[in-house]
Every structure is written in C-alpha cells, then in structure tokens.
Amino acid sequence: MTGRHGRIIKSLAGFYEVFDGQEIYRCRARGLFRAQGKKPLVGDRVVFEITDSVSIPKEGNVTDLLERKNELNRPDAANIDQVLVLFAFRDPSPSLNMLDRFLIHAAQLSLPAVLCFNKADLVSREEREKLAGIYRDSGCPVLCFSAKDASSLAGFLEIIHGKTSILTGPSGVGKSTLINTVCGQTRMETGELSRKISRGRNTTRHTELLTAGEDSYLIDTPGFTSLYLEGIEAGDLKAYYPEFGPYLDKCRFSGCLHDREPDCAVRTAVEEGLISVERYENYRMLYHDLKDRKRIY
C-alpha cells in the first residue's frame, strides 16, 4: 500500500473525510494520535492509505499529517489562505462598524481579507461605487457581485482559485446563495448533493471545506468574528487602518491617537477627503469602545 495525498474536508464522529482531488474517502486516523500525538484538523493535508476501495464511500486510514501553514480554533481548521468578508449592498444594509470588526479580526489572525459586496443587482452603480470607495485604501481588495448571477462572479472565482478561504459575514447577506452558485456543480459531481439539500439555516454546522473548483475550497463560518474586539489595546487600533499610514508621522504628537488631539494629520486628511470619513468615524467609535471597556473592567 502506497501513501496517497489528500485533504481533510470534514470531521465527524471520529471519521475524517479525505478528498484526493477526485474522490472522498472516509478515513480513520488510528495510530496517528496514539503514536505521534497529532489530532487531524479540517483543512489538513494528509497522507492516507486506502483500506477498502469497494465500499461506498471508499475507506482509508490517515497515516500522516503534512506541516500546517496555520491553525485556527474558531473555526477549528488548518491551512487557511484568506478570509472573504461578505456583506450585502442592501437587504440587509451593511453595518460598517461591524464590517471593520471583521477586517480587524482577520488582520489579528494574520489572514488577508477580501471584502465582497453582494446583491449588486439591488442598487445603482453610483451606490456601488460609493460603498466600494470607502474601502479603497483599506488594504484589502473589494469585489462587487450578485451571488444569484453566475456571470458576475468571475472576479470572485479568480480570487478564490487555488486557495482555501473562510467565507464569513452577517446572516442574510447571501452566503448560502453564493455557496450554492459556486460549489453546486462540484458537489453534485462528488455525489454530495444530499448534503447541499439538507443544509439548514439554523442547524448546527460542522466545519467543512466545500470544494469550489480545482483546489479551491470555502469554509462557511457565520461565527468567525465576535461582537467585541478581543486582544487589542485601544492605542493599537490605529495599526488596523492602513489608510492612516502616510499621515502618522505628521501629527503634532508622536503618540497621537487621532481622536481629538490638536494638529492631527489624520483628521486633517479626513477633512481634505484623503481618508474616508466612514472609516475614520468607525475607527473613533471602536477606539472609544476599547478605551471605555478598559475603564469598566
């Protein structure tokens, strides 16, 4: 028996579903934990051997884990390349404050974020450009599309190609719709149609890699971010706003927090239209949240 390479796409009740690019194998990881103290995670690249190629699904045994690029615990997953933060232009209208928290959370985990605005069909071009413009200098790419219209998703497919992406965002923005449009075909090919149909809105979902084309995977994670920022000092928040960068050393005070200090170059840049007002206001709101929280506890 020779070792094959695959990816753990799902973990359930002691079994791991391993996808080798063609088929899914239901595997155990006997011995791996006992011998090496390693617990497989969804997203792990593994070596496995086939133990039964006649059963449906085929069965196997994971014999080794390849080195992880990274490891998260909310969701429990390994080898994540990026976070897709999905919001809708309308229905529901985006809370920009919440949006910033998603971006900050991704940055805290050292994961690049891509900002995706869905339901482009519901608003005018001017409205689309206005919202996208707010994030122009935020350091993350901004995509606009309609999850219901596959022809609008070329840019999205390009950005997820060859990567493992966490898809996150508030409810109602179109995550399920997007997944069905992008992963639908692949899942039917791999005989996973029943899973797609049984996807309930409020059922507890396990972390799972969904295949979205060749070597492209999505992880659907509603609970990726918490409502509160954790692990950030108020004074460090400014580092999460890349658009402040060019002005930082021009403030009168070297420790300027760009709040109400006199001669603040960041605030001047906002007044001159060089930094988006919305981003700046959200920065200040989150800054005060963090500062007040510290005072309370």
Contact residues toward ligand GDP (CB under 6 A) are 118-119, 121-122, 146-148, 171-177
Among 104, 106, 256, 269, binds Zn ion (CB under 5 A): 256
CB of 169 to ligand GDP, least distance (A): 6
Q: Which does 122 bind (CB under 5 to 8 A by kind): Zn ion, ligand GDP, none?
A: ligand GDP
How many angstroms separate the CA atoms of 278 and 280, rounded?
Answer: 5
Which of 116, 264, 269, 270 binds Zn ion (CB under 5 A)? It is 264
Write out the E strands in the chain: 4-12, 15-19, 24-28, 45-52, 58-65, 71-73, 76-78, 82-88, 113-118, 142-144, 164-168, 209-211, 217-220
Q: Which is nearer to Zn ion, 217 or 247 (CB)?
A: 247
Nearest CA-CA partner of 227 in 85, 95, 98: 98
Which is closer to Zn ion, CB of 113 or CB of 256? 256
CB of 95 vs ligand GDP, minimal distance in Å? 14
* Nearer Cβ to ligand GDP (105/119): 119
Instruction: Choose among Zn ion, ligand GDP, none what residue 284 binds, the Cβ cut-off being 5 to 8 Å by kind.
Output: none
Q: Does 266 bind Zn ion (CB under 5 A)?
A: yes
Give the x/- contact pattern for Zn ion in 185-204, rule: CB under 5 A: --------------------
DSSP, collapsed to helix, strand or coil, labels residue 24 as strand
Among 208, 206, 207, 144, residue whose Cα is nearest residue 178 = 144
Contact region for Zn ion (CB under 5 A) — 31-39, 61-69, 87-95, 255-263?
255-263
Q: Return the closest-CA partner of residue 134 out of 108, 97, 159, 106.
A: 97
Under rule CB under 5 A, residue 251 binds Zn ion: yes
Residue number, 80 or 147, with CB nearest to ligand GDP = 147
Does the footprint of Zn ion cover residue 269 (CB under 5 A)? no
Q: Is 7 in the site for Zn ion (CB under 5 A)?
A: no
**Residue 26 token pair:** 């239901």
Give the side-chain half-sphere CA count within 13 A for 270. Answer: 19
CA atoms within 13 A on the CB side of 105: 23
Q: How far apart are CA 212 and CA 286, in angstroms?
A: 35
Chain positions contacting Zn ion, by CB under 5 A = 251, 256, 258, 264, 266
